Amino acid sequence: MRARREKIHGMTTSLADRAASRSYLFVPGDRPDRFDKAWASSADTVILDLEDAVDASRKAQARAAVLAWLSPEHPVLVRINAVDSPWYEDDLSLLQHPGVLGLMVPKAEQLDAALVRACTLRGKFLLPIVESARAFQHLAGLATTPGVERLAFGTIDFQVDTGITGDDDALHYFRSRLVLESRLAGIQPPLDGVTTDIGNIDILRTDSERSRRFGFAGKLCIHPRQVAIVNECFSPSAADIAWAIQVTEAIARSAGAAVAVEGKMVDRPVIMKAQRILQNRQTMGRRGSNG
């Protein structure tokens, strides 16, 4: 675990390393007793949550608890309160702390210019959550904002805002658009929303596998027990890795001649797919036994 965390600390501005994060674990900001447990979990990234998880009467207390725990030894994301909330300006003070990798921005429609400048100057990154129809309308703008390296889909709030029911085919179009706009903007694939049934591993696995098929590269988690399944589903399988090795070895032996693997011709897209699988495996391997 220490090797992975130190790697992240040593590459806080590295897009490639952060892109390997598959699981993002929320922890309520007013529950400091859970911070160390979350950090010790197998989550790739921990998010200390000052927004939805904290009652209005405890916002200041939660911010103080987060500030007291923050350290460069265990860098985390912080989900701040929305720009139109009375706590937003105070939350921004956390940007000055070296233990903050970046900010998760809820209800993101158009990012505050002052926030973007502050993050850019301090080498922090932004993770906007698409939670409304208006945010969806501004996807291209969000994805191309300086400091934004990937988007997250706030599926529950999005359904409330739009009146959509169901988290499967009803959201197919919106998931596809998040993946498309991320690719067009040249940022990392997006993160899918939470699975609220923390006790049902089968549902979590189904949700995660669907997200990966759509092109997502990770998922938000609300309980440590969800992390292992999410990490597994967003990692190359043993069969994927074996196939990728077979392809690259066949190409290396071919000396430029046409080559087939398992009876199928290997062209450039196949080679790129194999290389991506092996690259993902190497990146995740550097992150140690904790993710």
What values do phi and psi take at 129, rounded to 5? -105, 125
Closest CA to 93 of 113, 73, 122: 122
Q: What angle, rounded to 10 degrees, do the helices at 268-286 and 238-254 form?
A: 130
* Position 291 confidence tier, pLDDT thresholds 50, 70, 90: very low
Domains by residue range for the chain, with CATH: 2-233 (3.20.20.60), 238-286 (no CATH)
Distance CA 38, CA 43 (A): 7
Q: Place 195 in a pLDDT band, splitting at 50, 70 and 90.
A: very high
Q: Residue 43: what pLDDT?
A: 94
Q: Taking 80 as the threshold, does the pLDDT of residue 223 lie above it?
A: yes
Q: What is the mean pLDDT of residues 77-90?
A: 96
User: Does the pLDDT of residue 189 top 70, yes or no?
Assistant: yes
- Mean pLDDT of the region 130-135: 97
pLDDT band at 266 (very low <50, low <70, confident <90, very high): confident
Q: Quick one: pLDDT at residue 270?
A: 73
- For residues 47 and 272, the model is more confident at 47
Question: Global pTM?
Answer: 0.83
- Rounded to 5 degrees, what are φ and ψ at 65? -65, -40
Q: Say what the pLDDT of residue 4 is.
A: 34
Which pair of structure tokens corresponds to residue 252?
């290396």
Greater confidence, 267 or 61?
Answer: 61
Inform me whether the pLDDT recorded for 1 exceeds 90: no
Place of tokens 């460069």: 72
pLDDT at 6 over 50: no
Report H helices in the chain: 2-10, 15-19, 35-40, 59-69, 88-92, 113-122, 133-137, 139-143, 155-162, 172-185, 201-214, 227-233, 238-254, 268-286
Return d(Cα 186, Cα 150) in angstroms, integer.
Answer: 9
